[in-house]
Amino acid sequence: MTRKLPPLNPLKAFEATARCGSVSAAAKELQVTHGAISHQLRILEENLGVLLFTRKGNRIELTTQGAYLLPSVSQAFIDIASATAQLQRPATSGLLKVGCVPALLSLWLIPRMHLFTEQYPDVTLSLSATHILEEDMDVALLYGGSDWGDNWSRLWSHLSLFPVVSPTLINAMPLRSIKDIGKYNVLHSDNGQEWGIWLDEAVIDAGVFKRNYYMNDARMALEAALNSQGMALGDTMTVKDLVRDGKLVIPFDVLVPSKNSFHIVCRTERRSTALVKSFIDWIFDQR
């Protein structure tokens, strides 16, 4: 049996008008003229043989028949949009091996991994803390310059560096001016290069600090800062959740661009696979 359906464009105009509350708003959303929406509504009412709206000055209201029709039409458009999105999304399932620099992995990626698996429920994530793209990895989020050898890479985020300290420590040793920074132990995540860049910008001598602790990774330096062991350098991606939640504070408004950035890196032959492409698209959406 042939299904008799109203014309699609008038239904679209009806749904938008009812949802937006006016012909003008619907016209703006659908990027057509006010007259075009009014014409489509007349076509639909003539096709159905009922009035769908009543006009009260500049306002319109659904009639009983319009209110009856709207939920089914709205749900139909939602279903069409959902089905279209599923068709356009590549099929993704299986194991995805992701590497990430330790600090970003622990403090940024892991708290968000449920968002990825909610979007891609058939993907199993295997996460590794690393500073390089290891042989068995599908994709990695790494910190460095622009030279990633023969691998495919794309800049993910530029960074600014700034000191961070725990609320407990700053309450115990208040900072009345930037010169009071000398009260603190400094927590390095490298040989002192990045702190040196920040100190130059702040016009402070490196010898001002009470004591230096050197660590080979930013995650350790930030962990020490969280435990009130001193002042570490944070960046605009890694510590933003800690700052938002009040676990670390930024005592000064001196932000210095880092010489390095976060990059997405993968082997060129894996770039076009559905799993890798889905992860790369998702992680750019999360910035």
Per the model's pLDDT, the better-predicted residue between 45 and 86 turns out to be: 45
| 287 — pLDDT class (breaks 50, 70, 90) | confident
Q: Tens digit of pLDDT for each residue in 222-277?
A: 999 999 999 999 999 999 999 999 999 999 989 999 999 999 999 988 888 889 99
What domains can be seen in the chain, in order of their start residue? 8-88 (1.10.10.10), 94-158+261-285 (3.40.190.10), 160-257 (3.40.190.10)
Say if pTM beats, i.e. exceeds, 0.85.
no
Report DSSP letters for the chain, one per residue. -------HHHHHHHHHHHHHSSHHHHHHHHTS-HHHHHHHHHHHHHHHTS--EEEETTEEEE-HHHHHHHHHHHHHHHHHHHHHHHHHSPP--EEEEEEE-HHHIIIIIGGGHHHHHHHSTTEEEEEEE-SS--TT-SEEEEEE-S--TTSEEEEEE--EEEEEB-HHHHHHS--SSGGGGGGSEEEESSSSHHHHHHHHHHT--GGGSSEEEE-SSHHHHHHHHHTTS-EEEEETTTTHHHHHTTSSB------EE-S-EEEEEE-GGGTTSHHHHHHHHHHHHT-
Q: Tens digit of pLDDT for each residue in 42-58?
A: 999 899 999 999 887 66
Say yes or no to pLDDT of 153 above 90.
yes
Position 1 scores a pLDDT of 43
